[in-house]
Chains A and B, each alone.
Chain A
Amino acid sequence: MKHQRYKEWLYLSRYDELDAVGRERLDEHLATCDECRNELATVDELHAALARAKPVDPSDQVLHTARRSLHEALLAEKAPSPLMNRALEWIRILVVPRHRIVLGGLAMLTVGFLLGQRLSPRPPEEQPEPVFQTANAMPPVPGETGITNVRFLTHAPGEGEIALSYDALVPVKIRGTMNDPNLRRVLAQTLVSEQNPGIRLRTVNAIAARAGRRDDPEIKAALILAAMSDKNPGVRREALDVLRNSPFDEEVKDAFLSVLMHEPNPAIRIAAMGGLEKARAEGHPLDAEMRSVLKQRLHADENEYVRVRARTVLEEGTGK
């Protein structure tokens, strides 16, 4: 039993997990016990063998791939099923004529509802302004309610009747400047969540064109994410360009370096390099991390122009 404890202590001592008292007692024991000294030699050989095994060192490329997959998975978690896809799905389920009658009735009901909304008169004093200057008051736009997530209810309320439930989509219009936190939040969310790349591109352009709080953390985080992970190269390029004109800090630097390392499009890699050049011209010197990535691009980039630019940036950075 005593030896068992000392054997355990041998392992703990090699990991520096033994306290001072334990180390002292172990040393005293080892001075007098051949068996435990032999065991210690075996433990040392085990550690030497483990040290020779190839270390587990996942590359940045593998991590980057994992991040992209996670990004897609998070979008899928958030995205609601589009109304049109669901509508088409029902239309496809035209197995027997009876279903056509039911669906025809549903279609007529829907059309009738929407027409009623559009055509029913309202007294003038109830007609609100469709566009509001402040994001604090964002009432719905009347007459434009859409429907989604329609479900047939299992019980029929009466003969010849159809029972269903649906969610009403209420569009909201918002107008403001980049100083408006609500507007910034909507833009940031759109940039990372919107499925349509054209909308994402317009969002980046809107952020770029309007002076104001581009250093807002939500906007910056969304731009960084878009520059590094957006599926559309145009969006990535535009997001990078906005970051180039934003205050340079550690997060922006990391974004440029990540793009340099992982971006498949050479023009975008060059744009990232331009960001580092601009930062250097503004007084931010090239640090060790930036030099390391630039050297890697100089030696390993498949694009000749990227290699040439990397050399130029490095040489200018050292004052050659």
Chain B
Amino acid sequence: MAPTDNELIRRARRGDTAAFEQLVHRHDKKVFGIAAGYVRNAEDAKDIYQEVFLRVYRSLSKFQMRSEFSTWLHRITTNVCLTYQSRSRRHHFFSLSETEQDDHSDDGPCRMVADVAADRKTTDGEITQYVQQALAALSPQQRLVFTLRHYEGYRLKEIAAMMDLAEGTVKRYLFTSMERMKEELREVFE
């Protein structure tokens, strides 16, 4: 039977690095998904990923096992996201697949996926860039709430627990982020 999270934590506290990495591998896809959705940049997402798990590693003795490990982990993840300063301040869209090839590699950092469907007024690639720009216009808290709700599918109550906010505050962030997105993307759908 696979060890529980708490068993792995106890072993990791005794210096068992393999146990810690086993714990990491159970939860890191979610963490990486949150980071990637928030920054939409592979290098920054990897930075956030590493920062999150190093913080977890260093603070493992402080985790009292009164809640689920994932709850604590996601709280650290949201904190790191909110305080993260990108090494590059540009907000260009990068493919999150390092092996992806496309025909527009000479376009520079903004790689667009061309859609040749003649009946579309705006291509999917252009919409992607608009969405990217709209997300960049949000405050960190709005962007994080939007990412967690829209892309990661967390319920507002879960987001409130992760960000240590009241549910009403989270609702307000979601509403203001959607209003802002609506304004930024108005020319896409009007």
Do A218 and B16 touch (CB < 8 A)? yes
Stretch at the interface among B48-56, B69-77, B83-91, B136-144: B48-56
Q: Which of A48, A54, A59, A251 contacts B2 (CB 8 A)?
A: A251
Measured as residues with beta carbon below 8 angstroms from the partner, the interface class of chain B is 35 or more
CB < 8 Å: which of B16, B98, B124, B188 contacts A54?
B124
Expressed in whole angstroms, the minimum distance between the Cβ of A313 and any Cβ of chain B is 24
Q: Kindly list chain B residues whose C-beta atoms are within 8 Å of the C-beta of A66.
A: 28, 32, 45-46, 49-50
Is B161 at the interface (CB under 8 A from chain A)?
no
Contact A12 B37 (CB under 8 A): no
Number of A-B pairs, beta carbon distance below 8 Å: 148
* Chain B residues with CB under 8 A of A312: none
Contact mask B114-136 → A, CB, 8 Å, 1/0?
00000000001101101110000
Query: With an 8 A cutoff between CB atoms, is B104 at the interface?
Result: no
Residue in contact with B18 in the complex, picked from A15, A43, A225, CB distance below 8 Å: A225
Query: Is A45 part of the binding interface, using a Cβ–Cβ cutoff of 8 Å?
Result: yes
A117 at the interface (CB under 8 A from B): no
Secondary structure call for the A interface: helix
State the interface size on chain A (CB cutoff 8 A): 50
A57 to B32, CA, bound (A): 10
Interface residues of A (CB under 8 A from B): 7-8, 11-12, 15, 17, 42-43, 45-46, 48-50, 52-59, 61-63, 65-67, 69-71, 73-75, 77-78, 185, 188-189, 191-193, 217-218, 221-222, 224-225, 229, 250-251
20 A-B interface contacts by CB (under 8 A): A11-B175, A42-B182, A43-B178, A49-B189, A52-B127, A53-B130, A54-B124, A61-B97, A61-B98, A62-B32, A62-B96, A63-B32, A66-B50, A70-B24, A74-B54, A77-B54, A189-B16, A189-B18, A192-B18, A218-B18
